[in-house]
Every structure is written in C-alpha cells, then in structure tokens.
Chain A
Amino acid sequence: KQEVTQIPAALSVPEGENLVLNCSFTDSAIYNLQWFRQDPGKGLTSLLLIQSSQREQTSGRLNASLDKSSGRSTLYIAASQPGDSATYLCAASFSGGYNKLIFGAGTRLAVHP
C-alpha cells in the first residue's frame, strides 16, 4: 500500500530558526513529490514540486530534497518568520497513478516572535 508519512505532527520554533520538515513514502516507484502550505480556513498553496529524476528544488527560503532510495523528502525553511506559520503537507504520486496525489497528514508549524 502506498503511504506518505510526515513527522513531526507539530512544531513550534522561535523566529529566525532554520528548520526541517520530514516526509517519508513507502513506494520507491515515485513519480514526483509536491510540498504544499495550508493556512487555516484556506486551500492549498503549491510550494515546490520535485520530479523523480531530481534531487532538490529551491524557491526563496525553501529547499526541498528527494531521496528515492531511502523513501524520504525534506523541506528546509531558512530563517523562519511568523508568516511561515501554517500546516505543511507533502504529497506523492507514483508510477501507474501519475496524477493521483497521496497526502501525508501534515506538519503544523508555529513560528513565534
């Protein structure tokens, strides 16, 4: 069964700290992996997409990596800010279901001043 797991479930950090969110998946036949942000009462905002042939993607203060052999992805947030407070979701699609995203349960991040 294809599953996506995220740890930790919640994280609270002081402003300015660098942090890492973890995502693991059970099937090495991953097609791509996408990181999203969800603010309370809102939909999902796409942050980064990593194709299976890539090792990492960067956007501003965000860097996402993908290691297919270990079944892991990480989202690195540099110099965190209170505005980064949200739930971060990773979602993977696998060969045979290219557009079917399987979501992790999310990491709820709070960045306090």
Chain B
Amino acid sequence: SAVISQKPSRDICQRGTSLTIQCQVDSQVTMMFWYRQQPGQSLTLIATANQGSEATYESGFVIDKFPISRPNLTFSTLTVSNLSPEDSSIYLCSVVTTGNSNQPQHFGDGTRLSIL
C-alpha cells in the first residue's frame, strides 16, 4: 500500500495563529481525505481534497476555518486557521489508491495539535 507521510507530527501553537499540515504520498492516488480526531473521540471526516479544485466539506466544517489544497495527485495540505483550544486534536489524512471505490482507505500517522 501507499506510504503516507504527514508533517509536522506534532505541534503546539498559540491561540489565533494558523497551522498548515502537509500530507505526501509516495505514489499517485485517486482520492485524499482529511479527518479530525478530538481527544477521547473517534474520527470525523472534515473534507475530501479534490485535485485542482475546491475541497468538498462535510457538514460543520467550512473553508474559512479549514482551507485545503491539493495541487497534484500525491500532495495535499490542510490549514487550521484562527486556532482556539477547541482545535486541539489529531488531524489525519487518508488516501484511496485506485479508482475502484471498494478499496480500503489508508491513513497517515497524524498530526497532534495542541493549542496554548
């Protein structure tokens, strides 16, 4: 399966600042996604990163707060803007490697974000 690298692996940020998380895959993939895992909770899909166009956001998530880029088939970024303590979470990217939608999603190791 694809090797997925996320950077940074963890960060501590000040309130009101922004953090950009990178997701790099070692091969071209058809689909990339961003998830959030709040403390003690399970994963929630933030958005689908679309190559060359605007991301598709899930209910409760907006582009101003979570801008996403996907310039090519191997790379995506998620920015968490105007950070507040409620944004302290693990952020994970996942990929589907082929066009067959019955393929498993594979996840990166996540970015652990803490807000002071």
Contacts and interface: CB of A to CB of B under 8 A. Distances in A.
B100 to A, nearest CB: 10
A7 interface: no
Interface of B: 1, 4, 6, 31, 33, 41-45, 48, 58, 92, 94, 96, 101-110, 112
Interface in A61-113: 89, 91, 98-106
B106 to A, nearest CB: 6
B101 to A, nearest CB: 4
19 contacts: A31-B101, A31-B102, A41-B112, A43-B4, A43-B109, A46-B1, A46-B104, A46-B107, A49-B102, A89-B42, A91-B43, A98-B101, A99-B48, A99-B96, A99-B101, A100-B45, A104-B42, A105-B41, A105-B42
Contacts of A45: 107
Contact residue range for chain A?
Answer: 20 to 34
A106 B45 contact: no
Contact of B107 (A31, A32, A44): A44
Contacts of A98: 101
A25 to B, nearest CB: 13
Nearest to B33: A99
Given A99-B101, A100-B48, A105-B42, 12 more contacts: A34-B104, A34-B105, A42-B109, A43-B4, A43-B107, A43-B109, A43-B110, A44-B107, A99-B33, A103-B44, A104-B42, A105-B41
